[in-house]
Amino acid sequence: MRYVIAVAAALAALATPAAAAETVASLLAQEYTVVGGIQSNIGVGIFLQKKEKLFLCFASETPTSPTIATRYCKPVQ
């Protein structure tokens, strides 16, 4: 869990959100809270929640990438 929180904090500090796409940083700016995380073959999955809304975001990096970047976020229904 500490790793997920560290990833979310790094993304909030370093990532710049795309115009129409949600990112971990944009959701944190909207006062979403990190409520969990998972590991997958495409990167770390981060669950963010605000009231009844829940998003799952995937983030990944490479040894040469300057930041851990949000791949995509989708609402969970």
Q: Measure the CA–CA gap between 4 and 77, rounded to whole angstroms.
A: 22
- Model confidence pTM above 0.75: no
- pLDDT tens sequence across 14-57: 444 444 599 999 999 999 999 999 999 988 999 999 999 999 99
Q: Does residue 5 sit in helix, strand or coil? A: helix
Q: What is the pLDDT of residue 12?
A: 54
- Reported confidence tier of residue 62, pLDDT bands at 50, 70, 90: confident
Q: How confident is the model at residue 76 (pLDDT cuts 50, 70, 90)?
A: very high
Name the domain count of the chain: 1
Residue range of the domain that includes 58: 2-75
